[in-house]
Amino acid sequence: MTERTGKVYLVGAGPGDVAYLTVRAQHLLVEVQVLVYDALVDAQLLELVPDSCLKLDVGKRGGQPSTPQAEINQLLVEHCQQGKQVVRLKSGDPFIFGRSTSEIQALIAAGCPFEVVPGISSALAAPLLAGIPLTDPVMSRGFTVITAHEPEVLDWEALARMETLVILMGGRNLGEIVYQLHRYGRSLSTPVAAIRWAGTPQQQVWTATLGTIVEQTTGESLSPAIITIGEVVGLREYLRSPDAPVVSDRRLNPPVQSSASSTQSAGVSLSDIPMGSHSSQKTSSLTTQNSSQPLAGKTILVTRAAGQSGEFCVRLQEEGATVIEMPTLEITPPSSWEELDRAIAHLSDFDWLILTSSNGVDYFFERLEAGNQDARALAGVKIAVVGKKTAQSLKQHGLQPDFIPPDFVADSLVEYFPESLGGKKILFPRVETGGREVLVKELTAQGAEVIEVAAYQSQCPKAIAPAALDALQRQAVDVITFASSKTVQFFGQLVGEIDKLPLQGVCIASIGPQTSKTCLSLLGRVDVEAPEYTLDGLTQAIVQWATSEANVRDRLAHNSNIDC
C-alpha cells in the first residue's frame, strides 16, 4: 500500500464571520486532519472540521501568550511528515501580516508540499463593512496599509502625506499614531474610524477626527481593530446601507470599562463582568430598529452544545436579533462503547427503545452502523422519543417514532405512555453522567425493566468563546438563553463566581420547567419560559418578551411627553 503524502495548506480565514470564508477554504476544512489555528479565528469555523481532527490553538493575538513561531513551524513539518493533511488557518489573508514566510521556508527546507489559499483581508473588508470606500476619484486615489505594532520603525513623515491610511494592530498605540501624524502636518480635523471585530455580529465602529479619536475610545479595547484615516471616512454617512449600524460622532454615554479583552480560561470572575442596567450603556455603535423585526437591536447570547445551535440562531436572526454563540456543552463519545454495543447486538430482546435527545439518536445509529447493522435491526422494537428535535433526528434515519409525549418533556413520557409498562423491557441510551434519574425510576415503578447504556458524554468546554466573553464584558447582552439544565451549570463553571453577577436588565430565557429550576437555583430568577418546550417555543417566548418590553417603553415615553 502506498503511504499517503502529507500536505500543508496555509489558509486565510477572512475577517471573521464564517460567511466570508472562501469555498476553497471550506472544502479544505471539512476534510482536514490537523488544524493549526490563530486566536482570532472565528470559533464557528472550528465547527466545520471533522470530529477526528486534531485542533491546535497557537494563539497569535497581540499582547497575549502564544506559541513561538519556531514551534509552529515544527508542528507543521512534523504532522505533514506523518502523512497528515494540515491546515494552518490564519485570520484575514495569509500573506498580509500573516507571518507566512517563516512557515513556508520551514516547509521548503523539510521538503513538505504546501499550498497557500487566499482569504479576505480585514484591511479591505473592515472599511467596506463599515461603509467606508478606500478609494475615491477625488478624495482618495490610493491607500496605504500598515501595521502599527512597532510604530517607532515607521516613516511617519511619508505616511502623513498619504491620502488614506489603513492601520492594523494599532489600537494599543493610537495615541502615538495621532501624535506622529499631526507632528508631520496631518490636520487634527482629519476623519478617523476605528472598526472593531469587523465582519462579526459584535462589530463596533467609532467615527471621530484625528483630534478626538483617542478621547472617544478611552476605556474601550481596540483589539482587534482596523483604524482608517482619511477624508473617505466622511463618505460613510452617505454610502451606508439603511440596515447598517448607526454610529454617532460622539459617545452616547461614559465609556464602559473593560477588565480584559481577550479569551480567558474557565474561572473568569463574573464580578468582573458588570451587566446591570446595561441597555442604556451601549456605546456609539447602535443597531437600527426595524419595526418588522421584533428582536432588532437585541443581542442574544445562545448557550448550547458546540455545533448544535445553528437552527436556533437562524430563527433568532430572522427575527432581527444579533446572535452570539457561547458553547457551554461539548458532546463526546462515552468512556466505553461496550454496554451500548452489547445492547445493540441483542435488540430483538427489547420491547421499546427510548431516545430523549438528538445526541442519543446520532450516537445510537453510529454504533448500529459500526456493528454492520441498519434500521432494519429495529424491526419489532417500538420507539419513543422526547421532543420534536429528537423526532426529526430519528426521521433522518428513515424512521418514525411510535410515541412522542405531548409536552415534549421526559417527565410526561410515563404519564402518557400508550400501553402498560408491566413486564416491558426498555433500552435507554443516554448521557453517561449527569442525567436526571426520574424517568428511569418512574418506568421501573410501573413494572418495566430498564436497561441504561451510555451513548455519549457531555462536558464543559475549557474556555469561553472570545466573542461571548467580549460581549459580556461590554455589557452588550440583552438575553441569555438556556436549553437544558447542563447549559446553566456549565455557564456557571465557565464564568466563575456566579453568585456575584448582577443580572439586572439581562433577560434569562429558559426552554422549560427543569431548566428553569436550575436557573432559579444558580441565577436566582427566570424571566422567560417557553410555553412549548422547544426551540421554536423559546424563540416565540423571547419575541413576546421583547414586544412587551417595547410596548412598556413606548407607554413610558408617551406619559413623559404628556407630563412635559
Q: Which residues pair with 12 in a beta bridge?
A: 90
Q: What percent of the chain has pLDDT over 70?
A: 83
Q: Is 326 a catalytic residue?
A: no
| Lowest-confidence pick of 200-204, 287-291, 333-337, 507-511 | 287-291
Quote the strand ranges of 304-392, DSSP E.
322-325, 330-332, 352-355, 382-385
- Of 233, 465, 428, nearest to 343 by C-alpha is 428
When pLDDT is cut at 50, 70 and 90, the band that residue 410 belongs to is: low
Question: Higher model confidence: residue 64 or residue 365?
Answer: 365
State the cell numbers at 417: 405512555
Q: Tell me the Cα Rg of the chain.
A: 27
pLDDT score, position 285: 35
pLDDT of res. 38: 87
Query: Is the confidence at residue 274, as pLDDT, over 80?
Result: no
- pLDDT score for 475: 80
% of the chain surpassing 90 pLDDT: 53
Q: Which long-range contacts does 95-102 make (Cβ < 8 Å, 24+ apart)? A: 96/121, 96/123, 96/145, 97/147, 97/168, 97/169, 98/10, 98/12, 99/60, 99/69, 100/10, 102/69, 102/73
User: If pLDDT is split at 50, 70 and 90, which confidence band does 312 have?
Assistant: confident
Higher pLDDT, 261 or 206: 206
The CA-based diameter of the chain, rounded to the nearest angstrom, is: 90
Question: Is 298 a known active-site residue?
Answer: no
Query: What is the reported pLDDT for 108?
Result: 96
Residue 493's pLDDT is: 87
Q: Render 83-120 in DSSP notation, one character per residue.
A: T-EEEEEESB-TTSS--HHHHHHHHHHTT--EEEE---
Write the single-letter amino acid at 296: A
Least confident of 106-110, 160-164, 502-506, 511-515: 502-506
pLDDT reported for residue 202: 76
Prior bond of 224 cis (ω within 30°): yes
Please say whether the beta carbons of 356 and 334 come within 8 A.
no
Q: Which three cell numbers stand for residue 344?
A: 445493540
pLDDT at 43: 74
**Contact by Cβ (8 Å): 477, 274:** no
Q: How far apart are CA 213 and CA 206, in angstroms?
A: 8
Whether residue 288 is predicted with pLDDT greater than 60 in this model: the reply is no
Banded model confidence at residue 249, pLDDT cuts 50, 70, 90: very low
Tell me whether residue 7 is one of the annotated catalytic residues. no
Q: Are strands 7-12 and 85-90 parallel, antiparallel or unpaired?
A: parallel
Does the pLDDT of residue 415 top 60, yes or no? yes
| Cβ pair 361, 355 in contact under 8 A | yes
| pLDDT recorded at residue 178 | 95
How far is the C-alpha of 13 from the C-alpha of 16, rounded, in Å? 7
247, pLDDT greater than 50: no
Catalytic entry in 84, 90, 93, 169: 169
What pLDDT does residue 24 have? Answer: 94
∠ Cα 107 111 114 (to 5°): 50
pLDDT of residue 277: 36
Contact by Cβ (8 Å): 227, 193:
yes
Please give the grid coordinates belonging to residue 474. 461590554
Nearest residue to 323 (alpha-carbon basis) of 468, 122, 504, 470? 468
Give the mean pLDDT of 301-311: 76
DSSP 161-173: T-S-EEEES-GGG
pLDDT, average across residues 154-176: 95
pLDDT, tens only, 33-74: 999 998 777 777 888 888 889 989 887 555 556 789 999 999
Examine the pLDDT at 564 and tell me if it is beyond 70.
no
